[in-house]
Each structure stands twice: as C-alpha cells, then as structure tokens.
Amino acid sequence: MEIIILGSGTGIPTARRSSPGLVVKTGEKPILFDSGSGSLHQLSLAGIDYHQIHYLFYTHFFHPDHVNDLTAILFANKYDRPEREKTLNIIGPRGMKNFYRNIRRLFPLFERMPFPVNIQEVMDDQITLDSAIITSKPLFHQEVDCVGYRIESGGKVVIYTGDTDYCPNLIELGKDADLLISECSFPDQFKVAGHLSPRLAGEIATKTRAKQLLLTHLYPICDDYDIRGEVKNNFSGEVMVAEDLMRITI
C-alpha cells in the first residue's frame, strides 16, 4: 500500500500544512479519505487524477476542515473533460445522506449529475472493494458522529483515526496495525477534549501493537514543540510527523 498525505493540518491552514486529506493506493485506483479545503489542488500536486477516484471516505462532516472540498470534487467531475461515467461512491458516518441532500439544495446544479453518485452511511461496518477491506468503527469526537477506518490489503493494515479522543473502539480498530495514522492536534500541555495529544497517541500505538505511527491533523502550535519526542515516552516503535505530500509505502 502507498499512502499520500494531502493535508497534514487542520481548519487553520498555514503555508506548511493544508486541511486534512489523504489517499491510500491499494491497487491501481486511489481511495480518498477526507477532503478538507484545498484537497483537490493537492491531488494535482501529488500527480493523482481525480477522475480515477471512485471512493471517498469521510470520517465526519460536522467540521468543514474534513469535507469542504467535496463540493469542489463534485463540480470538477461534472464539468471537466473527459466526462465522468463511473459511479462516485461517497461513504461517511450516520447523516451523510442528509448532508449530501443539503449540498444539492445549496447548489442546485448538483441536482442532475451526468454520472451516478452513491451515498453510503457507515458506523460499525465493513466494505469490501476489489483490492481492500475497509472496516469502520465509531470514535469519540465532541459528541458528533465520527468514524475511523481500518484498511486491509495485501496482508498489510493501515488505520486512519480521523478526529477522535481516546476511546476503546480505537484500540479495537487499530489492532496490529502496520501503520497507525493518528490525529495529534495539540501538544500534551495543551490537550483539548475530543482530540488526541502525543502522549495518548503513543499509548494507543503501544496498546494496538502498531509497527509505525504517523502523527497528523496538527494545529500550528504543534510545530513549536517536539511532539515526536513526547510520543516516544510512551511508544518504542517508529514515529513520523506528517508533512503535506508525504508518501509512505508499506
């Protein structure tokens, strides 16, 4: 599997970090997870043709930094050439169908799409694609419906937490991960409810027996602290700090 980080930041963009989004390649076709502001542009910088993306997985839509570019992706697919013919599958937690209905009300041009759009809601579910099995579980993020994803392909396991605080489902979801992609929003001394800090990310990586830990969803303050060093107090495996357009192969 290859993982491409489109955005390693949050809803507060900086010159260094864009809003959340990442691509997982398990075969020929890329799978998109979250699409915060600028994700469509980041796809082009990463050399990924958005026409080839047939599955978009969202961790949640309550906060715009994870979902803002959904409309941009729909718009680009509607008007670009060659015209899209294959189904665009949009998967997210409970309420995703109503969220999409609201998008169509806001932008009437999406009422009649020239290609099929399939909306699927997941919580504690599993989806089988040609080259991957993707399992979702509800996680805890400020009392909103939010899910994390487990991607299994070719004997490898990647976990993407999305936004979450520490919760039992996260430990279950992440068991024996080859790569745990964990949010790490703030340094330990600035921990915020609903989000993880380096200490907790390290504890989760240890409890799940993850081989590698990648920290992402970093607020600007994280760049002023040694968050990698803070993680190492609780996790002995490899720790990486995400950067925009970083590529990892496992």
Given this model, what pLDDT does residue 222 score?
98
Joined tokens for residue 53: 């993306």
Using a pLDDT cut of 90, give the percent of the chain over it: 93
Q: Is 31 helix (H, G, I), strand (E, B) or coil?
A: strand
| pLDDT number for residue 68 | 97
Return the pLDDT at 83: 82
- Per cent of the chain over pLDDT 70 is 100
Distance between CA 191 and CA 222 in Å, rounded?
11
> CA-CA distance, 191 to 9, in Å (whole number)?
16
Instruction: Tell me how far apart the alpha carbons of residues 48 and 4 are, in angstroms, rounded to a whole number.
Output: 10
Beta-strand ranges (E) seen in the chain are 2-7, 21-25, 30-35, 55-57, 88-92, 117-121, 125-128, 133-141, 144-153, 156-160, 179-183, 212-216, 238-241, 247-249
pLDDT at 29: 86
Contact, 182 vs 236, CB < 8 A?
no
pLDDT greater at residue 147 or residue 27: 147
pLDDT(161) > 80 = yes
Short-list 218, 209, 220, CA closest to 241: 218
Q: What is the pLDDT of residues 189-242, one digit of tens each?
A: 999 999 999 999 999 999 999 999 999 999 999 999 999 999 999 999 999 999
- Contact assessment for residue 114 and residue 103, using Cβ atoms and an 8 Å cutoff: no
Question: Residues 129-160: pLDDT tens digits?
Answer: 988 999 999 999 877 899 999 999 999 999 99
Domains in the chain: how many in total?
A: 1
Unique residue bearing structure tokens 């990892």? 248
- Over residues 87-130, the pLDDT tens digits come to 999 999 999 999 999 999 999 999 999 999 999 999 999 999 98
User: Which of 28-32, 42-46, 79-83, 178-182 shows the lowest mean pLDDT across its residues?
Assistant: 79-83
pLDDT greater than 80 at residue 28:
no
The three-point CA angle 205-232-165 to 5° equals: 45
How many CB atoms neighbour CB 83 within 10 A?
A: 11
Q: Which domain covers residue 129, as residue numbers?
A: 2-249
Q: Residue 239's domain is classified under what CATH number?
A: 3.60.15.10
pLDDT for 143 equals 75
Question: For residue 175, what are the β-bridge partners?
Answer: none
Q: Is 201 helix (H, G, I), strand (E, B) or coil?
A: helix
Spell out the SS3 assignment of 69-116. Answer: CHHHHHHHHHHCCCCCCCCEEEEECCCHHHHHHHHHHHCHHHCCCCCC
3-state secondary structure of 160: strand
Q: Kindly report the pTM of this predicted structure.
A: 0.97
**81 pLDDT more than 90:** no
Name the nearest CA neighbour of 123 among 158, 151, 96, 142: 96
User: How large is the average pLDDT for residues 47-54?
Assistant: 95
